Structure 1
């Protein structure tokens, strides 16, 4: 296992390099950049005093260099002007829109982003697992039809609309403040038990909203996989031998049906992060979603590139976790081992 983990971590290095290149390339595809747009705006309004400063920033952050050189400087594979270090040296870049280093802009939001999306993933699996099993073992029952209807409603309901409804319910029925991840009185205050409880209470709405669509899809996937296993010959044979239904379900078909269910952890992370951008704007959540949206709109390339790379890292970690869980779940899967003859 240790050898396998080491090989996987080593394999992440070229993968991240490829992802970083594609990310930087796609962000550079639109014509111009933040500095060019600002210069054009100043020229259109007749203001020339700040153009010299913008030209200085262009040279300072190597925006006047060729594409490949800019990419190498951003990653840290090539020395930048005046000692401008790259990602490998711990320099995340400069946000032109916020006029601050990227780490100062996104630093406070990274932990909250991971916390909210982790809670959403746990919500997806904790809700979809028992419902999927119930729907598969009681096919075409009223409960199966009811959960199927709720699943389709969850898939069809826009997240921002569900967020608005739940915010209203939380405010009217439970006296929670509208938006944010804590009551306004705790903003800027040191951490305490009351502040932590306020954060937990305010996380309920975004967790449900972000995880709803993923939950509906997971229920349908687990139900279909389990139904396929329940109709296989080994299940019929086990029933004919008198094996109890509960023991049969847990020991064989459920374990086999969980393979695609567990393998989706890596794919679920980017889906939740991308789907939570509009939700974060509507719910006023201090996550990287609104920052990424603003950075893409203003072509703040260093800020948007780092956030997209951060999401890619979360995806790779999720895929590693799913592969390790699959190895423990299914004895047919070997971590790089050869088939024994």
Structure 2
């Protein structure tokens, strides 16, 4: 197991390196950058002093260098005489739109994004597992038909549309606004017990909205996998030998059916993160989703690149966790390869 763990960790390094290259190329695809566009606008307005300041920032952050040099400086592989030391040194650059370091702009948004997405994934698994098992063990029952209908409804309803509907009805029925992740009095304040409790209470509705589509898909997948296992010969043999149904179900079929269920952790994380961006805009959630959209629109490359790279790291970590859980769950998976003797 230790060898497998070290192998997976070593594979993550080149994976993140390739992701960093792709991320940088994506944010550099649009022509120009934030400062270039600003310089052209200032020149048209005749503001020479502001133009000189913008050109100075271009040199400070290596935006006048070739693209490969910019990438090396962005990651911290190459030294730079300006103010930027690179991601590997913990410097994520300067947000030109907000005129502040990226570390300060992102700030608590990264932590709130991680907490919200973790809560959505936890909600997905806690809801999908019992419903999927129930639907598979009671196939074609009224409950199975009901959960199947809700599953298809969840798959067909976009998260942002569900957010708009809940915003409307909560305001109509209760006179409440469910937007934001904390009371307005705590915004911009240091973390405290009251602020933490406010975040937890405001997180319930966004967690349900973001986790709905993932939950519906996971229920269908677990139901199909478990139904397939229940038809196999070892289950029929176990029933013929008189094994209690609950013991037979837990010991073998559920365990085997959980393989795709667990493997989806890596795929679920990026889908939840990408799906929550529009929901965050609709619900005014202070996560990195709205910030990413804004930075891409304004070509604020250091801010956009840092957020995309962070989300990629979350995805790689999710895949790593799913691999470890699969290795621990199913002894048929050979950690070192080769045939079982």
TM-score (norm 2): 0.94
RMSD, aligned α-carbons: 1.8
Retained in 2: the 8 A contact 1:113–1:287?
A: yes
Q: Equivalents in 2 of 1:193, 1:74: separation in Å?
A: 37
| Larger mean Cα displacement after TM superposition, 261-270 or 7-16 | 7-16
Q: Where does residue 310 of structure 2 map in the other structure?
A: 310
Q: Equivalents in 1 of 2:185, 2:102: separation in Å?
A: 28
Unpaired runs of at least 5, structure 2: none
Unpaired runs of at least 5, structure 1: none
Aligned ranges 1:5-154 → 2 under 5 Å: 5-82=5-82, 84-154=84-154
Shift of 1:173: 5.9
Q: Equivalents in 1 of 2:266, 2:176: separation in Å?
A: 33
Retained in 2: the 8 A contact 1:61–1:81?
A: no
Q: Where does residue 289 of structure 1 map in the other structure?
A: 289
Q: Equivalents in 1 of 2:77, 2:294: separation in Å?
A: 28
Shift of 1:227: 1.0
Shift of 1:282: 1.0
Shift of 1:335: 2.5
Q: Equivalents in 1 of 2:25, 2:179: separation in Å?
A: 35
Using a 3 Å threshold, how does the CA distance of structure 1 residues 108 and 192 change in structure 2: closer, same or farther? closer
- Number of equivalences: 341
Aligned ranges 1:138-177 → 2 under 5 Å: 138-170=138-170, 177=177
| Larger mean Cα displacement after TM superposition, 175-184 or 98-107 | 175-184
Retained in 1: the 8 A contact 2:62–2:82?
A: no
Shift of 1:196: 2.7
Q: Deviations over 1:197-248 (max 9, x none)?
A: 3221110011011101101111111111111111112211211222222111
Using a 3 Å threshold, how does the CA distance of structure 1 residues 290 and 83 change in structure 2: closer, same or farther? closer
1:333 maps to 2:313: no
Q: Equivalents in 2 of 1:230, 1:100: separation in Å?
A: 58
Aligned ranges 1:188-203 → 2 under 5 Å: 188-203=188-203
TM-score (norm 1): 0.94
Retained in 2: the 8 A contact 1:262–1:325?
A: yes
Retained in 1: the 8 A contact 2:60–2:83?
A: no
Q: Equivalents in 2 of 1:192, 1:56: separation in Å?
A: 40
